[in-house]
Amino acid sequence: MDDASQARLSDRIRVTVGSPRLRTRGRIITFTRHGVRPMNWPLVSQFRDGARLAIFLSCLGLGFAAPAAPRSRPNIVIIYADDLGYGDLGCYGHPTIRTPNLDRMATEGMRFTEFYSAAEVCTPSRAALLTGRYPVRSGMCHDQFRVLRNNSSGGLPKDEITLAELLKTRGYATAMVGKWHLGHRPEHLPPHHGFDEYRGLPYSNDMQPSPDSPKGRERFFAERNDYWQTPLIQGTNVVNPHPDQRQLTRDYTETAVRFIRQHKRSPFFLYFAHTFPHVPLFASGTFRGKSAAGLYGDVLAELDWSVGQVLDTVRSEGLARRTLVVFSSDNGPWLVYDQHGGSAGPLREGKGSTWEGGMRVPGIFWWPGRIQPSVQHEMALTMDLFPTCARLAGATLPDRPLDGVDISPLLFGTGTVERDAFMYYRGATLYAARLGPWKAHFITRSGYGPDGPSTHNPPWLFHLGEDPGEKWDRAAQQPEVLARIADAVARHRASLVPVPTQLAETVNP
Ligand SMILES: [Ca+2]
């Protein structure tokens, strides 16, 4: 075929990329060794996107290039802080902690004001993040043993499906960097839950104190690395039984940046869970002593630097327009550690409690070109990440109850989302529920204070729009709201299937 014939053919084919069917402005023709003849329409209909048509035409030697199909599998990065409070970032109003990289991320992306972790402490909140389900469904919670300890035998059950396993079905490279806390025995570590690579601490940085360290609170404030012996693990092996915690944030960050660079040509999922600002606090020499907010501010400045390193790598590798980066925290600030604990801003209480300060956390979503810079006031949950990322990656959701919803309409400004009431659990016990702006407390208790649980009947009822600090009980004026919340709780309870807890059994560490 001469050039003129090829040009005429190209002129007769009009491809609309992304349309459900090929559209043409004339008859489609095909080529045989005997010449040109019309192609049957049923044959044409198999080309449902521009990329496949381009391959077909290329095979014919036509040199016709259809526009590239839109990428359907964005890279996904989740950066998760430990015990970072709602009020701890500059972009959430902290007066002295400086977080310029997170502030820029929020300015360029979507900052949520009503974003929730699914639990008030580490282990259950991480289980919920990775499975999209309340921890009571997986057994990753317990009323007395609130998190996995260094002698726990349990871990995330194998029949739970993690976000990493889901994304593996779509060809993602996966890595977990940092604090895991979903089971430290080899069979529970990230490589057995869908992660190709893992480097980090298996649980909290205070869970294996040195036998020589002093007892009590003072060792938390001493800034002595030799008081702590939580091991550093790579894959399923201990690579350093006593890592220098002052270097952890830098170590994690270098690992994360290396992973992004190595996998920049394939879709990747990076789950980057920082050890800090969980106590005991440590910062490297570059950041130590620099913040007006003291050591806590130094630690957050280093964490903020790390976020900047990740975003700069995404930008410099040309990945910004096909990478979703999410920042959040696993629970509120650990207030009993005074100046080494963070701030819940205007919210009541902190880590360990089902008051807002225990479970409402920063939530920042960044994806230049897809997510418009904005502040989002709709409620969203860390559990939403599972169905949302599944949608973005084109993965099929597993056939089981999920408690998150796909929030991509909020992220992309295309609509609203429907959700039922949000349940606040302390351990395996339901303490409160939120429906719209209303939150009913059935039981209240401080996160770590000496008080016991107080049961409320009728429940205490707060309007979180008018009263975000949860001060004024409105139950007497709103019986119909309490009735609707009771209905939502009944629906939720009817969906639960009892499972054994993973947090009670122990073995020798
Ligand atoms: Ca935590």
Please tell me the distance between residue 329's alpha carbon and the centre of ligand 1 in angstroms: 8
50 and 81 in a single domain? The answer is: no
Rg (CA), the chain: 26
Q: Which of 27-31, 55-59, 76-80, 375-379 has the lowest mean pLDDT?
A: 27-31
Spatial distance between the Cα atoms of 500 and 292, rounded to a whole number of angstroms: 47
238, two tokens: 């201990």
The b/e string for 453-482 (b: 16+ C-beta within 10 A; e otherwise) is eeebeebbbbbbeeebebeebebeebeebb
Q: Which of 387, 412, 437 is the last residue of a domain?
A: 412
Q: What amino acid positions are annotated as catalytic residues?
A: 122, 181
- Write out pLDDT tens, residues 164-201: 999 999 999 999 999 999 999 999 999 999 999 999 99
pLDDT digits (tens, 9 = 90+) for 19-42: 233 333 333 333 333 333 333 333
Does residue 347 form part of some domain? yes
Q: Is 501 left (phi over 0), alpha (psi -120 to 50) or beta?
A: beta
Give whole-number Cα distances, 159 to 142, 154, 155, 493, 505, in Å.
19, 13, 11, 21, 19
Strands 374-381 and 110-116: parallel
Cβ-count burial 299-334 (b if 16+ within 10 Å, e if not): bbbbbbbbbbbbbebbeebebbebbbbbbbbbbbbb
Last residue of a domain, one of 355, 388, 412: 412
CATH number of the CATH domain containing 475: 3.30.1120.10
pLDDT at 264: 97
Question: Could you report the per-residue pLDDT of 288-304, keeping only the tens digit for each?
Answer: 999 999 999 999 999 99
Judge if 208 and 270 occupy the same domain: yes
**3-state secondary structure (DSSP) of residue 402:** coil
At residue 72, the pLDDT reads 79
- Alpha carbon distances (Å) from 455 to 145, 443, 478, 505: 21, 4, 19, 29
424: helix, strand or coil: strand
- Confidence at residue 508, expressed as pLDDT on a 0 to 100 scale: 80
Domain boundary among 412, 438, 453: 412
Give the pLDDT band of residue 7 (cuts 50, 70, 90): very low
Confidence of residue 359 (pLDDT cuts 50, 70, 90): very high
pTM for the model stands at 0.87
pLDDT value of position 77: 99
Same domain, 486 and 346: no
What's the mean pLDDT when you consider all of the chain?
89
Residue 438: phi and psi, rounded to 5, are -95, 135
Domain shared by 86 and 125, yes or no: yes
Low-confidence winner among 42-51, 81-90, 137-146, 383-392 (lowest mean pLDDT): 42-51
The kind and range of the H/E element at 458 are: strand 454-463
- Domain match, 245 and 344 both: yes
- Looking at the structure, tell me whether residues 49 and 169 fall in a common domain: no
Confidence at 93, pLDDT banded by 50, 70, 90: very high
Each residue of 447-495: pLDDT tens digit? 998 999 999 999 999 999 999 999 999 999 999 999 999 999 999 999 9
Task: Give the Cα-Cα-Cα angle 292, 298, 304 (nearest 5 degrees).
Answer: 115
C-alpha closest to that of 83 among 342, 466, 455, 417:
342
Q: In angstroms, what is the span from residue 192 Cα to ligand 1's centroid?
A: 22
Claim to verify: residue 398 and residue 430 sit in the same structural domain:
no
Q: Are 290 and 403 part of one and the same domain?
A: yes
- Give me ligand 1 centre to Cα 331, in Å: 5
Task: Classify 422 in phi/psi space as left (phi over 0), alpha (psi -120 to 50) or beta.
Answer: beta
Residues 302-352: tens digit of each pLDDT:
999 999 999 999 999 999 999 999 999 999 999 999 999 999 999 999 999
Whole-number Å distance, alpha carbon 187 to ligand 1 midpoint, is 23
Mark whether 290 and 173 lie in a shared domain: yes
Lowest mean pLDDT, pick from 43-47, 485-489, 499-503 = 43-47
CB 185 within 8 A of CB 155: yes
Q: For the residues 253-267, what does the mean pLDDT come to?
A: 98
Site of tokens 């890592």: 243
Instruction: State the CATH number of the domain containing residue 359.
Output: 3.40.720.10
CA of 310 to the centre of ligand 1 (A): 22
Task: Say if CB 85 and CB 353 are below 8 A apart.
Answer: no
Whether the CB-CB separation of 367 and 109 falls below 8 Å is answered with yes
Contact 80, 271 (CB under 8 A): yes
Same domain for 96 and 170, yes or no, is yes
Lowest mean pLDDT among 33-37, 57-61, 99-103: 33-37
Residue 67 belongs to a domain? no
Residue 6 has pLDDT above 70, yes or no: no
| The two three-digit tokens of residue 436, written as one number | 């719209």
Q: Do 293 and 226 fall within a single domain?
A: yes
Q: Are residues 49 and 89 in the same domain?
A: no
Distance 496 CA to ligand 1 centre (A): 25
Q: How far is the CA of 12 from the centre of ligand 1 (A)?
A: 61
pLDDT interval class at 10 (50, 70, 90): very low
pLDDT value for 330: 98
Kindly provide the residue ranges of all beta strands, DSSP E only, lying in 189-250, ordered along the sequence: 197-200, 232-234, 237-240
How many angstroms is it from 205 CA to the middle of ligand 1?
11
pLDDT at 5 over 50: no
**CA dist 199 to 238, 239, 458, Å?**
10, 9, 48
Q: Tell me the C-alpha distance between 437 and 151, whole Å.
A: 41
* 129: in domain: yes
Range of the domain at 250: 75-412
Q: Kindly state whether residue 69 falls inside one of the protein's structural domains.
A: no
Residue type, 226: D
Q: What is the total count of domains within the chain?
A: 3
* Gap between the Cα atoms of 505 and 74, Å rounded: 40
CA–centroid distance, 179 to ligand 1, in Å, is 10
- Residues counted in the chain: 509
What tokens appear for 147 in the block? Answer: 């998190």
Within a domain: residue 316?
yes
| Locus of tokens 């030799």 | 226
Does residue 412 have a pLDDT over 80? Answer: yes
Gap from CA of 27 to ligand 1 centroid (Å): 63
Lowest-confidence range among 17-26, 45-54, 375-384?
17-26
